[in-house]
Structure 1
Amino acid sequence: MSAQTQQRAANEPLLSASAASLRSDLNAFARQHLPEAMTPARFVILEQLPKLPNGKVDRSQLPLKDASESAISNYVAPTTPEEMRIAQIWCDVLGLARVGIEDSFFDLGGDSLAAAQMAARVKEAFGVALSLRRLFDQPTITELLRMLGAKDGAPESDAGNSRSLSHEDLAAEAQLPPDIAPEPDAAAAAGAPYRSILLTGATGYTGAYLLRELLDRSDAEIYLLVRASDVADALDRVRDNMQTYGLWREADLPRLKGVVGDIGRPYFGVTRTVYEEMAQRVEMIVHNGALSSYALPYRRLKAVNVLGTLEVLRLACRRRIKPVHFISSLAVFPGHQGPQDFAEVTLTEADGVVGGYRQTKWVSDKLITQAGRRGIPVCVYRPGLITGAQDSGACSTDTFLNAAMKGCIQLGMALDFNVLLEMVPVDFCAQAVAHIALSGSRHGTQFHLPAANTVRWGELVDMLEQCGYPLQRVPYPTWYRTLAAAVEGGADNALAKFLPLFGADMPSADVGYPGSAPHFRTDNLLQALDGSGIQCRRIDPEFLKLYLDYFVATGYLPAPQRSQS
């Protein structure tokens, strides 16, 4: 509704009721005819759509929330003793004054760690353990009470993984919209050396190293899309992030252009003036921004990981054709029993790709290659699990692998889980991407960036022991019961926020495919890096100690008990 209509609704209850009724009908229709992952979270009613000068919808001017949706119309109060008891727990965990029984725990600000804390409180209050997997799929008090009533505790199979879409739905998601194609009057793509680059995800771990390499290997000005209050805050966030890993140089500042925006919003949520400036000036895009949580379902990651990719591609088509270099992942490949061989080619198979994060990366990877066929120069980079820097050991604490190592160290025991790990040093990844992207000569190519040597989880546990962190090897069910008891008891375990990924009998396939033995070819990568001097360090106890020492120095890990010679 327009502002005028909102005022009318405030004075005319029938108009407000009509809008509420329409939203309710639309929601019911969508839930009946659409897969749950595609059901809109909110319906906003407008008298007319805002338009751009070319007649297309101006999505940057669409309201994020309909002001006519009052707290009263959305709020469904708890009425039974059980509803009120759980609502109070939610209020305590989330720091809210009230919650409704149809409110989503995650829309209210909850995350996976808060969900684990809330589940522990609910178990204490009701004596029933919640399935966190189901909670992530149906995060309302109403559905939570149904879970408590069922009391079955039945483990969910991966076929019913609540974080995943079916491979048929994935194929439907991976269709590039028809409007994403170079504008008829768009200027041709500029060649290297590039004068202006857009980098997404600069406030993340890999983003910090990518920015360092782009600065060192070019003279370009670099636009940085950052969620911030203003431009100064955006640049402060970038500076702070790079300082964390010892990468910041004050002399870089004049070449950085902070852009206050959100990759998950239409037109990045920036003003038309800023958008047009980027459309005109940017000559190349490195798209690294993404939510990397393995614990969240596809639908909660889609806005940033999939729709954000579409927004990057739309910008690449506007005013000037811009090459797009997309940071994908080796997680896009399906997991099946036995050996598999994956060439550096366009993705085909979606069956066997499980988990929200993996699936959003698969969809985005497909969208990028489709855009390439429409005339946008593209490159796709698929790294393995990003680990510590080869020179300093500097490493992010916000990764599943590092949380798994710390969580096991905190428990004093390691789970028995036969999966292969492709651990790729962050600086090698950034060097390879920057070198290839800035050359401007490899468009239309996919590159795999696996580890120099694949290690099994059990081998990594052996290395941890050699570095002074002895871990008791126990069967998986024993390890899980110990972890669950620690989390429910309030222990500050690094794996608490990933508890939904673990079932009582086995882990979800989101965290790895036991029995799968993939081999990732690197012909394109080796050819592109030939003569560059860029090399990937092997994962061995000496390298692992380098970044474990970094974790100890930063307080993330306790000092090791001992080291084996």
Structure 2
Amino acid sequence: MLNATNASQETPPLVGTLPPHCRQDVETLRQFVRSVLDGGAPEKAVSPQDFREVLLTGATGFIGRFFLCDLLQRDTKFVVHCIVRADDVEHGRKRIRDALQQAEIWDESFDSRIKVVLGDICQPRFGLSVEQFDLLCRQVDAVYHLAADINLTSSYIDIRKNNTFSMRNVLELCLRIRFKHLFFASTMGVFPQYFCAFAHEFKDRRIDHQMQPNLESMKKTFPVGLLGYPWSKLTSEQILLFAQQAGMPLAIFRLPQISLSSSGFTPPHDLSVRTFAAAVDCEKLPEDFTFRSSNEAVDSLSRICTAISLNP
């Protein structure tokens, strides 16, 4: 299941009111977008068919490594800048290489076209100097923002720094000098009927294309003080949609829960994978246990998303 929003389709507004901290963050980052644009109108974004250099966050993550592989395979001249936390460039390069090798998707031809950017998405300008950030603004044509804190036990207050406030740096990059296309990985988990599909309460509720979640149902199902992840994604979406109205090309991919690749590779720390592995090892299942996962393999979804992103 993939729920995508792009610039050619009008996104319906949310119905209801976001929780106070979410509203505050939306307004704060809207003001930031205005302040960046008040400094001068950016040049027009290049067409996707003319992409030559792009920035990817989350390159060492479960999904990000497959995006990196697909982007590099689509064009032998494609250069991907990857923001990585590391001690030095070689350490960062090793982290990326190890992530792809672990999934058995590494190719030696990738090495020369991966540009390691030592940084942190949560730090101002990703932790780069003014000169380094300015150069990045001039180099890249698009941003694939996949990095996120996916901790399902964090409140919104605890997770907002990584998932919401980091949007400030992404937006500054996309709005400076010229517009960049932004491709953002959100989640189907903003919908209670998806996140809690195991509950009979939601068995008759569908999720339609371009649909927005019911905020009152979210508040009931996802207490903002206990489960902040879906709120951080929904809040980020609202900020990005505001920037889109100002002219920034945008696509939002609401991805499902993904637990495996077509080769059988799984994220080692995924709770559902570990639960299933424990059940197999013990040859017993907990009472009423069902293993629910997306039918789509991560590499299939990655190919779909990257193909959409490069379609003018």
What TM-score do the two structures reach when normalised by structure 1?
Answer: 0.46
Q: Could you tell me how far 1:426 is from its partner in structure 2?
A: 0.5
Corresponding residue number in structure 2 for 1:202: 59
Q: Is the 8 A contact 1:279 1:318 kept in 2?
A: yes
- Structure 2 SS opposite 1:177: helix
- Structure 2 SS opposite 1:342: coil
Q: Could you tell me how far 1:409 is from its partner in structure 2?
A: 4.1
Corresponding residue number in structure 2 for 1:266: 124
Name stretches of at least 5 consecutive residues in structure 1 with no aligned partner.
1-165, 442-565
Distance in 1 (CA, whole Å) between partners of 2:126 and 2:166 is: 8
Distance in 1 (CA, whole Å) between partners of 2:291 and 2:241 is: 29
Q: 2:274 aligns with which of 375, 379, 403?
A: 403
What CA deviation, in whole Å up to 9, does each residue of 1:25-57 have, x standing for no partner? xxxxxxxxxxxxxxxxxxxxxxxxxxxxxxxxx
1:375-394 matches, within 5 Å, as 375-390=247-262, 392-394=263-265
Distance 1:346 1:170, change over 3 A: farther
Q: Could you tell me how far 1:241 is from its partner in structure 2?
A: 0.7
* Residue 190 (str. 1) matches residue 46 (str. 2): yes
Q: 1:174 aligns with which of 2, 26, 40?
A: 26
* Residue 275 (str. 1) matches residue 133 (str. 2): yes
Q: Is the 8 A contact 2:272 2:291 kept in 1?
A: no
Q: Could you tell me how far 1:387 is from its partner in structure 2?
A: 2.2
- Structure 2 SS opposite 1:413: coil
Q: Could you tell me how far 1:420 is from its partner in structure 2?
A: 6.0
Who wins on radius of gyration, i.e. which is larger? 1
Corresponding residue number in structure 2 for 1:234: 92
Counterpart amino acid of 1:327? A
Q: Could you tell me how far 1:246 is from its partner in structure 2?
A: 0.9
Distance 1:410 1:418, change over 3 A: closer
Q: 1:352 aligns with which of 211, 217, 242?
A: 217
1:147-546 matches, within 5 Å, as 167-175=19-27, 176-181=29-34, 182=37, 184-191=40-47, 192-218=49-75, 219-335=77-193, 337-345=202-210, 347=212, 349-353=214-218, 354=222, 355-390=227-262, 392-409=263-280, 412-416=284-288, 421-439=293-311, 441=312
Distance in 2 (CA, whole Å) between partners of 1:416 and 1:279 is: 52
- Structure 2 SS opposite 1:385: coil
Q: Could you tell me how far 1:352 is from its partner in structure 2?
A: 2.8
Distance in 1 (CA, whole Å) between partners of 2:24 and 2:214 is: 13
Q: Is the 8 A contact 2:276 2:291 kept in 1?
A: no
| Larger relative contact order (CA 8 Å, sep ≥ 6) | 2
Q: Is the 8 A contact 2:191 2:213 kept in 1?
A: no
Q: Is the 8 A contact 1:263 1:304 kept in 2?
A: yes
Q: Is the 8 A contact 1:388 1:395 kept in 2?
A: yes
Distance in 1 (CA, whole Å) between partners of 2:273 and 2:112 is: 35
What CA deviation, in whole Å up to 9, does each residue of 1:349-375 have, x standing for no partner? 333331222221221222222221121
Q: CA RMSD in A?
A: 2.2
Distance 1:285 1:347, change over 3 A: same
Distance in 1 (CA, whole Å) between partners of 2:52 and 2:264 is: 32
Q: Could you tell me how far 1:320 is from its partner in structure 2?
A: 1.5
